[in-house]
Structure 1
Amino acid sequence: MDQGFRNRVDATQDERARVRLLVASGQWKRAEPDADRFQRFAAKRIEIRTRSGAEAIQRGSLDYQPVSFLDEGAVVRRAVAFVEATYGTTSTTGSGFMISPRLFITNQHVIPHAEAAMGASIVFDRELDEFGRPRATTTFRLDPAAFALFSDESELDYALIAVGPRLAGDRELAGFGYCPLSNAPDKHVVGMNTNIIQHPLGQRKLISIRNNLLVVRTETTLLYETDTQVGSSGSPVFNDDWEVVALHHWGEPFLRRVDDEGKPVPQEVNEGIRVSALVGHLMARRGELPLAALPLLVQALELGERASVRSSGPSLGPPRPTAPPAPTPRPVAQPLHNPHSEANPMTASPSGTSVEFMVPLRITVALGADGPSVVTAQAPGVSQAGSVAPVLALGHPLARASEAIRVDSNYGNRSGYREDFVPGAHLPLPTLRGDLADQVAPLRATEPDAASGELKYEHFSIKLHRTKHLAIFTATNIDGETYLAVDRDTGEVKASEGEKWFKDPRVSESFTLNQDFYSAWSTYFDRGHLTRRTDPTWGTPEQAERANADTYHFANCSPQHFRFNQKARFWQGVERYILETGVLAQEVRRALCVFSGPIFDDTIDRWADDVQIPSSFFKVVVWRGADKLKAVGLVVDQGPLLDEARVNLGPPTAPSHVDVKQWRVAIRSIEKRTGLDFGADVRAADTIRQAGQPDVGAEAVSGILLRSLGDIEL
């Protein structure tokens, strides 16, 4: 028997009795001594119940469980396996579970060292099915040569080992899943119930659920009263959200009570190693591993960190449709290289393609004798060498760093978007149809033409939505002769982004999302430009610098998933592509007008607190071709990205194999989805009507899935 464990049992007898008494009297919420911890735990539980459905909460109690409790438990139980280790003349059995796609954890007193691991095997699905019949099992060998890390039984008592080849059965290892180790501070409180999935006495898999009290917490352990036996060592201890809170390793009778007949009833106290202690210990031991093994541990820790973010950070709410959606024709997509595929360019279904990405933000600070001189924020794939680009042939550089951006507070010198910018054409601001016209956010009463709501900046204008706190649209003039470089192959802008954003005093703050929102929801969103920073940077050096700074107003900002800029490459580079290949009229300057903005759809949009997050964004580009006016419409869909929360700002993981969808669409379709009217001239100029393009009827929502900028017929 471990003497340290015995000492902890004796020392906590009074505290455990107090907890049992509080629970028995219905006052379990008073058992947790840390009030802040209990508030975090309770807030998360109530939020989860609310998302699961109203029936999950009764009179504010946290005791009721949604039916998903059973389904979720059925999923995580597959990651738990029976362990048998034979080495020399010794044989041990126990339990364990996957913490990542390759790593398996159990107790060190079950598998004491690498030699024992060489002779160990783990058996999945050693259990009865819903009909009481044994399931077909799958057995794997362990591979300590690839990865093995042990902590002595007197310390944290773990054995973390890579899984090797399959020995028997027909299931793939990936099919059993894993239970990540998250050290989020809201996973447990004293007085709550725990759940253990285990192989006691070498039996088929059993579960002890709910009526198991967590009675004591120490720095490295949890003590709980539940039913375990020899063979339960190495089992995962879960809370009611099926998050692992401890690695079970010891059980010991500590108290005898009497039943109604006066006969003694044995009770047990059990000890598990806290997950937070395990995570801290593993992080500290990364330097002990050979380079070939380190990526396996890094992956496991990142999976746990991701679970921690999802546990402790805010979660996007579901769509809030105002009425049942009307039946719509089945959308038809017409990719140029696969005319038989089907998709919807204008609406993203939450049940569509799932996307998983990881994008860091690299922050660079240059230190000199006088302190920091340059601060830049660089996204992956953006060339730092190209972050300084000429505005004019005069060679005047744009500011590289946010601290160099200064907004000209004399807004009276901004002319805004020009309707006559494209020679020989009149392209007014889009008009707003129906109820949308009443949703324009007015300027402050002291501003000229306040009711129009037009915020005029250098070479672009914006109109805000008074209730959605975002722009309805932006309208921008681009002078192609002085346009900043875009990498034609990748569509990425060869310039760094600044990081400071500004409020516009001409409009009430209540009409925009400001820094408080983006800070609170930084696990999901970056501050995304609608009018891109590079689009209006032309003219005199002073105008170019003013335009650059103007794009950093919150009025021009939208919540874009942190993967958005990495994956929407063609979206980023379409203006430059048109300037280079659009066969612009030779007798006039290379002029473009660009309209952009969010697309809202109550039936699919997610919510961040009281903010509706647009699932898609549109862009309409208009120019004069060699013989006539031309226009293209584009839509990019960020909906599939919104289930991924940001894990950290460290080195990026491998990019996902799935890209965000980018579509060439009919301008009429954009008008229908947004309530905007771009005018008859723009609709008539839409090159999607050209020969070889898909037939776009009034009742259809059609589009071309972009795989390259060359897929845009100009």
Structure 2
Amino acid sequence: MKSQVENLVRERLALTSARRKQSVQAIARGRAEQAEPDHRRAQRYAFQYLTEQTAITGPDADFLPVAFLQQGMRQSRAVALVREDGVPKGTAFLIGAGLLLTCCHVLPDRQRAASYSVEFGYWLNERGEAPATACYRLDADSFWLASPTEALDCTLVALGERLTGEADLTQLGAIVLSDRADKHRLGMAVNIIQHPGGMAQQVALRDNFLLARGAAGSAAANVLHYTADTDEGSSGAPVFNDSWQLVALHHGAAQDESGALVNEGIRASALVDWLKGEAIGLAPSARQRLIAALRGENNLMLTAQAAPDVNYANRNGYQPDFINSDEITLARIIAPRTAEVAPLRSGATGTAAILDYQNFSLAICATRRIAFLTATNIDGARYIDIKRDSGQPALLPEADSWYEDSRIDSRYYLVQSFYREFSRWFDRGHLTRRSDPCWGTPQEAVRANKDTFHFTNCSPQHFRFNQSLQYWQGVERYILEYGVLQSKKRITVLTGPVLNEQWRQYGGVKVPLMYWKVVLRLGPEGKPQATALLVSQANLLDEPRRIIAQGQQENVPQVDEFRVTVSGLQSLTGLDFSAFAAWDGWQPAPALRADPLPAALIMSWRDLL
């Protein structure tokens, strides 16, 4: 990797050779300000210095106020040493909202992030002691973006669990990313806070000059070239001007045509432009977090959400008579496959091993390590909007966290280790949707929201699955709002994977290819109704996550969503839907698709009613 970075730097140094020579000559004459050929940029930079009154520079004077040292010390709190399995790898720094920036060649792989840690406050005082460090894991599952070494060579990842120390995000602070045009001019001094060679934090202040920036449209357009003392382990360090504003992400160094060692950093403005472009394609919670970071927000709305209440005895679970007096029991539905239900730690087996949560219940298939189905009651009249990431009504967002259920041995269901290992393909997908059981009192709604983040309610869904579905995600809300319901806007949703012989192997796990859903309710005349849906992720599974170059068009596979009969779904799943099969008045036309069962492609929301 070092040789790759050196070769990239060397190639781009060749493109800035003439400009670097001119900058060196201006600095040697004591006229560093003349190194900048862009007079408007030079004026903006000079005006910033006049307004901030941070320095007095010239051929005979180079003064900095004492506050310069205080400001640098404040910025140093956000800088960390990066280690993989305890071995130093480079430097990184917080940019806000609990997001950490480093080089992609320092942290290249999302799957390896779990073996990384970062240590803040690792600097030595006058006694040679590191007084108060704080060590954190990384949480690539909450947030991950990367641009490869040959592009912007950057990785942005969420800070995870604190392992040692006491410093939290507020105390660590953040180094703000900005694309302002007045942060640098050629010939200015640069300052770098870094961990060269894995050493305690060092700062390069002396005889460091910005010599060149790549010309627009060239292969060097996104980089700055500068002199400074750096070493292996400096990659990922922040490069500042004398106002301690970030101007670049230190990327590497190489010898130029004269044999002198010249450093290269990725311009902060290029990073901001790239991140803004990437934000559009992120999930809403991740997008909001990135936007907060780009705004320099660093409040603790991103602290870990509280774990679910482990007093599971207070859960009401799925209510079989929720729709009307005709009980639709979960025990009857899973009866044909009772022998496959995973046992509980209490010794309960079969239908007695159904797990109750707030407003929903589920049963786990022991051999497949995924729920057969979840059954959820939804009372639209008592629905409470629970923010996805804070887990609280009307609060600001924070990162998703998933939890194991102490009532059942984790060997019977998929946990984080699987989703981490196969994160190139799968997201942690809710079976019972996060918002569906969030009704009742505020306390009950909060409890229901947290309960949906149990791994028992999780299934491996291709990362494009949720991006590509329209009707599947919205059928509950559509029926609640537009289905002309007769009974208090109540519905029951049954959903699960198709656990049959159609699967794809990932490690020791047989990942299902299809998912199904049934929505039960009373129609406008009080007549029970059922709508069954089927969707497949089979066409998506050949596509791993990959980095898409900016501006490149993606060929996103189409995911078709089908309406099927309840009786047909019963045959496909091996479950017993006879208690409500007669509620389904829809019948497919003889010519409709019949693989794996007769189905009609859903073309509009009205097709769901």
Q: Normalization by structure 2: what TM-score?
A: 0.50
Q: Normalization by structure 1: what TM-score?
A: 0.43
